[in-house]
Structures are given as structure tokens and as C-alpha cells.
Structure 1
Amino acid sequence: MTPDTHTLETLDTPAALIDLPRMQHNIARMQHRMNALGVKFRPHVKTTKCLDVVRAQMAAGAQGITVSTLKEAEAFFAAGIKDILYAVGIVATKLPRAMALRKRGCDLKLVVDNAEAAHAVVDYARAHGERCEVWIEVDTDGHRSGITPEQEALLEVGRILKGGGIDMGGVMTHAGSSYDLNDRAALGALAEQERAGCVRAAQRLRDAGVPCAAVSVGSTPTALATEHLDGVTEVRAGVYVFFDLVMHNVGVCALDEIALSVLTTVIGHQPDKGWVIVDAGWMAMSRDRGTAKQSHDFGYGLPCALDGTPLDGLMLIGANQEHGILAASDGSARDDLVARFPVGTKLRVLPNHACATGAQFPEYQAVSSRGMVQTWGRFHGW
């Protein structure tokens, strides 16, 4: 982290901005909710990949982290965080790298959802005299990977791990289909489906004699919608720390809670078309068009004034590699935009998907309530 040396007016563009008061509000909101529900909170750090953000989450009460790449695990362990869940199915070729982390003292937990991967872990551990902790991924909504709670494969994988001397740590699930909802009752119902399914999987394993201490659930929408978490030991969520336009459409955040934006500069106009050209194209915003299938399509992002106030009736309607097109969201050729946004004007753009937009930048510019800016590093890759 570098000292305060910039203001928004002096920053080069495009730049990824973190609104620190909003971020701290989001962290406190989620941690308070998890504390009230009586569960451990293990944030997913893939959204930010930023040590400064994760330190703020840990300071608020988070216990351990979730990662989606071994590079994340290595970087955060090097910074002193030991309790790490690698929440992507492990394969044999990645085991040497994962086990190297454990040998250095990292409490890295691995995840499997099939017998082949379970056998690979057992075989590697035996061949190298290693111990490791493995969790089983459970599919509670048909969204992605995992074993459904009632499948025989769940017990098969559990027995392979236990019989192979592996520490069977628990079960985890992610109700990713929550991103497709926008109704509080539907979100609550999915949160209960997620909870009940994961608890059921854990109980089946225990009844079969397979240890299963941890029951881990989570997505940002279900974490904020759940009514109770009986039988759950921890919750994971990631995008809540920044939020984004997809989450706004889901109904779990207000526009003024979105903490990530892209600072951009007006570089030209196409008056006949009613276009304002900015220097934030898809290389800055990402190609993620997650709001296109939702009730409100924000194009490539929602433009805001420099103070973060949304510009009603406008959106980033198109994006080339380094050019963004700001225009009226209703398709009309507004003739007031040239005068309203002269060349050199700086704006902020709220992103569709904070994870995808953040991934376009090597660093964040963290903006304080006084408008001062600090540079926070971010890392890329796998």
C-alpha cells in the first residue's frame, strides 16, 4: 500500500476504484449478519485478490478464507493467513503444488466431487507420506459441480477418503443459481434448499461412519436472504464486499452500496448518434454482460458522476477494446450530451460483475471519504 498521493482528478484512466466507506459498510453488514446467525464466516477472496481488502475482512471478524486458485492460496499464506479452503475440485496434477503449501504449514483444505479425484488424493498421500484434509462438494441446486445429497457417490467418495487415511473435513456447497433470482421469497427458499441439502449430505456421511465436522454453504444472495442456519458451521461469500449491478438486480444491494467502479475520461463524441466516447472499453469493464438476462439491462455499466451519483437515463451501451460508448439507455440520440460531457470529463462506471471487472486491473485505487487515493495491489493468474 502506498501513501495518499493522488486525488481522482490526478489519476490516469481507466482505473479501478474502491469506495472505502462503501466497502467497509458492506464488510460490516455481512459480518454482523453472520455473527447474528451464529456461524463462522469464511469470505471468498477471488473477487478482490487483494491483501488490503482481505485484511479489512479479517479485522471485522472473518475466520479463514476461500480461494479459487492455488496462486491465491500461496499469496495469502505468504501474507500470514493459514486457514484456507481451495474451493475448486482438485486434480492429480495440482497435488504437488497443494501439498507443498501444507508442508510449509498452510492449513489448506482440498475439495473433491468424484471418486477419481478422491483416489488421486489417497494415492498421492500414501506415496509421499503426507496428510491432508479434504472436503466433498455438494450440489444443492444443479448450478455447477458437486454430488447431490442423496447420490450413492457421496458415500462412495467419503469411504474412499476415510479408507485411504485422509482427514475428511466436511462438505461444502454453493447455490450459484441465486444469481438468477430477484425475489426475496425465492431467495429465501433457495437459501433454505442450500442449507438443508448440505446438512443432509453431512448427516448421510456421519451415519455411514465418515467424519464430517464442517458444513459450509454460501453465495452472496443466499447469505443475505437466509432465515436460519441450523446445522451449518460456516458461510462463504465473495462479491458482497464490492457488490455490482448483477447483485443490485438480484435485489441484495442498493446502487449506493456498490463499492467498485471504473474511473474513465471522455475522449470524444459522435453528436449525430448521441454518443459520448470514453476510454473504458471492455478491457477495463470486461465483456461480462450479466445484466442482459436480468430485469434491468445496464449494458456494459452504469455511468456515474465523479462523486458516484448515477447518471439517470444513461449507460455504457457498447464497448470496444479501449473505447466505451456512453449514450441514452432508451436508444434515443440525445443532443445534450456533448455539452454536458466535454472532452476531458471524468466519470465513474459501475460494473456488471465486480469479479470480472476487477480482473482487468493490476491494482485498485482505494478512495477515502475525503477523496484521497491509495494504491492497493492485486494479483493475476493461477
Structure 2
Amino acid sequence: MLKDLFTPCLILDRGKLDNNIRKIKSIVSKRKIDFRPHLKTAKCLEITKLLVKEFGQRAMVSTIEELEQLKSSGINDFLYSVAIVPNKLSRIAKNLSNDCKITVSVDNISTAQELVAFYKNTGHRITAVIELDLDGHRSGVRPYANEQLIKISKCLDEFDLFRGVMSHAGESYGLSNEKDINSCAKNEADQTLIAAETIEKAGINCELVTIGSTPTALSGCKNIGITELRAGVFIFFDLVQSGVGVCELNEIALSVLTTVISINREIDAIIVDSGWMALSRDRGTSSQEIDYGYGQVCNENGELIDDLIVTNVQQEHGIIQVREGSDAKLPNLKPGDLLRILPNHACATAAAHSCYHVVNNADDSIKIWNRFNGW
């Protein structure tokens, strides 16, 4: 029973989780393309095993901790998403085996040379993809930087360490309609294929041409020529993804269970025991059409309470009020009552907790699935 749980705590709706996995499974099956789930959102062995069952033995990680914690799940092909630096290679190499290959990403010739030197000195074969920067927002090589692309790929390919190219359509999270998302997805695929073609014209094979973000993976883009799609937050969804337009509020599988600790009549607010330590300070919906403050409030059963949002957070206090300009009324609650809060950004909110309380509406059971943090 939810009333027996110590709050704040993380609630995962198993039925919605399963539906969200089936949603993207249907898409990639129709496109006949490989899919590599990103494990950074879940950081959980039980969820990883579900993904392996549906999508096979490939996965993406953003920390070495994820690789170490989840290599027992059946994955034998890891792609490390953050541009690698040499001082992490030894720790990564400890996880290599005949049954597990690991590919890292590079975006400069110096790191590529360091990776080659590491292989020559140790015999540990860590392969690499070139990370592409499609929109100038973070690390990566521009897809039209032909000289750089060829130089890096040749350096790696000479020692059979080169696998291909990787991109991420980060700009998709700032969109909000199907037309723009489809256009972004097409641009993601087109630019990535341009980079791959440049490398292949130089006589180097691009085994892996991998693209992805949850919005573009769920788009209608056909991705002809791309070998692999990736996505991560699709398993839970969140308020930002709802604002982008790739999910409905009732598809969000993750919420924070919280207890009412006080009613402040002076400011017409409900005070709960979930502050930024439990919800995060993420304000990802602030630039979207609908701003949910620090989270959308639901009743104990996860049913939306219209226009009731978390308007402010302190370390261990959440301030819940009716959205400014709304005619809705503050619900009649008392200290001890339970509420649930949908997160702006599922990754950030989940990172505040050590486990998922997995609820199954089919049999009213609650299971504990541990999660981890760290790098």
C-alpha cells in the first residue's frame, strides 16, 4: 500500500513502463532498424533486463558506473556516450571481455591517438565512434569538417579501432510540434550520413551510423541509411517530453510520492515533504507552452489535478499552488494526505532516489527495484 511507504519516494508505474517500451518497439520494428536503449535514465538492473529482452544485447551508457553495474544484464555491446578522456580508459578496459565489447566516442585527433597508444601499450581493444555535433551545442565534430573526420577515422582504423559515427539531435528538446520534430529528425539523419559518406569515400568502413534522441526516434522519419536508433527517457517520459509533443501526461510512468505536511492559508498553498532534493531544480518546462513549475500534481492514485503545480521548492519543502490565472480551487487536503508529482525531467528526479517503488495496478503489488548513481 502506498500509505505504508516512507516519503518522499519514487513511484514507477509498471503498466505505463511496459506500454512505453512497446511504443518504441513497434516503431523500430516497422522501420526494421536496430535500436540501442540509453541506460542513463533508469540506472537499474531490472529495467535493463526488460530492455535486453525487447531490443537485444546492445546499450548506451553515459557513465562508467552504469557499465560496471549493468554488464551482468546480458549486454555485450556498450556504447559510452560522453567524449572519452585518456584517464578513464584503464577503468573501462577492466570491463572488456570476450563476451563484452565497449565503444567510446572521440571528437579530436589527440584523443584518438591516445586511444591507439593505450591499445598498443596494453593490448586492450576499446573501439571508438566519432561524435558529431549537429547544432553547435556541445562536444563533437561538425559533419562537414571533412579533414578532421578523415584524420580521426584513419588514425583509429589503422589499428581496427574505428566503428563509425554517432550523433544526437539535442535541439529536438526545444521543439513542440510534429512538423518541426520530423524536420529535425531528417536533418539529424542527413547530416550524420554526410559524415559517414565522407569517411567511407576515404576507404574506411562505417559499421555503425547511430543517431538518436527520444523525440526524433519517435518521429515519422524513415532513417534510410542509418544503422541504429537510440533513445533513453522514452521508458518513463516526463513533462518536458509532453511539452515537446511526444507523449501524453497519462503516459508518464514516473512520479514522486509525497506527504502533505502543512496547509498555508495565507498564501493558498499546500506544503509537502518533497523539495528540490526529491524533485530536482529542473525547470525544463519554463520555456514551453505550458509551464509546470517544478512538477504537475496528481492525487494519490496518480490522477491529474488540473492546474495544481509545484510553484516553488526549498531543500525539503515543496510549495503547491493553483496555477496563476486559473479558476481552479486548492483541493481540500490535510496533513498526512498523499499526493504524487510528475517530474519535469525524469533523469534528474530519478537521480535523487536510491530505488523505484514499482506499482502494478493489476494486482496492487509494490516491488522494490534498486537504482544507483555515480560516475
Structure 1 residues 305-326: Cα deviation after superposition (integer angstroms, max 9, x where no partner): 1111111021000000010001
| Preserved CA contact (<8 Å) 2:58 2:77 | yes
Question: What is the DSSP-based 3-state SS (H/G/I as helix, E as strand, rest coil) of the residue aligned with 1:375?
Answer: strand
Pairs within 5 Å for 1:115-194: 115-151=109-145, 152-163=147-158, 165-194=159-188
Match of 2:368 in 1: 375
Pairs within 5 Å for 1:171-320: 171-320=165-314
Deviation at 1:132, TM superposition (A): 2.5
In 2: Cα distance, 1:139 partner to 1:305 partner: 42
Deviation at 1:80, TM superposition (A): 3.3
Deviation at 1:19, TM superposition (A): 0.6
Higher mean alpha-carbon deviation, 122-131 vs 235-244, is at 122-131
Deviation at 1:71, TM superposition (A): 0.8
Higher mean alpha-carbon deviation, 107-116 vs 51-60, is at 51-60
Deviation at 1:166, TM superposition (A): 3.6
Deviation at 1:105, TM superposition (A): 4.3
In 2: Cα distance, 1:333 partner to 1:277 partner: 20
| Preserved CA contact (<8 Å) 1:275 1:333 | no
Question: What is the DSSP-based 3-state SS (H/G/I as helix, E as strand, rest coil) of the residue aligned with 1:235?
Answer: strand
Q: 1:252 to 1:375 in 2, by over 3 A?
A: same
Is 1:46–2:21 an aligned residue pair?
no
Match of 1:14 in 2: 8
For 1:156, the aligned partner's letter is: K
| Preserved CA contact (<8 Å) 1:315 1:327 | yes
Is 1:362–2:354 an aligned residue pair?
yes
Deviation at 1:227, TM superposition (A): 2.2
Question: What is the DSSP-based 3-state SS (H/G/I as helix, E as strand, rest coil) of the residue aligned with 2:75?
Answer: coil
Question: What is the DSSP-based 3-state SS (H/G/I as helix, E as strand, rest coil) of the residue aligned with 1:17?
Answer: strand
Q: 1:104 to 1:94 in 2, by over 3 A?
A: farther
TM-score of the two chains, using structure 1 as the length reference:
0.95
In 2: Cα distance, 1:46 partner to 1:307 partner: 27
| Preserved CA contact (<8 Å) 1:192 1:226 | no
In 2: Cα distance, 1:153 partner to 1:211 partner: 16
TM-score of the two chains, using structure 2 as the length reference:
0.96
Deviation at 1:331, TM superposition (A): 6.2
Match of 2:17 in 1: 23
Q: Calculate percent identity across the aligned residue pairs.
A: 42
Structure 1 residues 178-226: Cα deviation after superposition (integer angstroms, max 9, x where no partner): 0000011110000000011111111111110122111100000000113
Question: What is the DSSP-based 3-state SS (H/G/I as helix, E as strand, rest coil) of the residue aligned with 1:230?
Answer: coil
Stretches of structure 1 lacking an aligned partner (at least 5 in a row): 1-6
Question: What is the DSSP-based 3-state SS (H/G/I as helix, E as strand, rest coil) of the residue aligned with 1:262?
Answer: strand
| Preserved CA contact (<8 Å) 1:46 1:238 | yes
Match of 2:332 in 1: 340
Deviation at 1:63, TM superposition (A): 4.0
Q: 1:210 to 1:11 in 2, by over 3 A?
A: same
| Preserved CA contact (<8 Å) 2:52 2:74 | no
In 1: Cα distance, 2:278 partner to 2:306 partner: 22
Question: What is the DSSP-based 3-state SS (H/G/I as helix, E as strand, rest coil) of the residue aligned with 1:142?
Answer: coil
Stretches of structure 2 lacking an aligned partner (at least 5 in a row): none
For 1:346, the aligned partner's letter is: L
In 2: Cα distance, 1:62 partner to 1:353 partner: 26
For 1:350, the aligned partner's letter is: L
- The structure 1 residue matched to 2:61, chosen from 59, 67, 79, is 67
Structure 1 residues 57-104: Cα deviation after superposition (integer angstroms, max 9, x where no partner): 222234411000011011111333221111111111001111121147
In 1: Cα distance, 2:38 partner to 2:27 partner: 16
Q: 1:258 to 1:332 in 2, by over 3 A?
A: closer
Deviation at 1:138, TM superposition (A): 1.2
For 2:374, the aligned partner's letter is: G
In 1: Cα distance, 2:6 partner to 2:269 partner: 22
In 1: Cα distance, 2:301 partner to 2:318 partner: 20
Structure 1 residues 276-307: Cα deviation after superposition (integer angstroms, max 9, x where no partner): 00001100000111111111110000000111
Question: What is the DSSP-based 3-state SS (H/G/I as helix, E as strand, rest coil) of the residue aligned with 1:116?
Answer: helix
| Preserved CA contact (<8 Å) 1:40 1:63 | no
Q: 1:226 to 1:157 in 2, by over 3 A?
A: farther
Structure 1 residues 244-299: Cα deviation after superposition (integer angstroms, max 9, x where no partner): 00000000000000000000000001101101000011000001111111111100
For 1:319, the aligned partner's letter is: V
Match of 1:3 in 2: none
Q: 1:331 to 1:277 in 2, by over 3 A?
A: farther
For 2:373, the aligned partner's letter is: H
Higher mean alpha-carbon deviation, 83-92 vs 246-255, is at 83-92
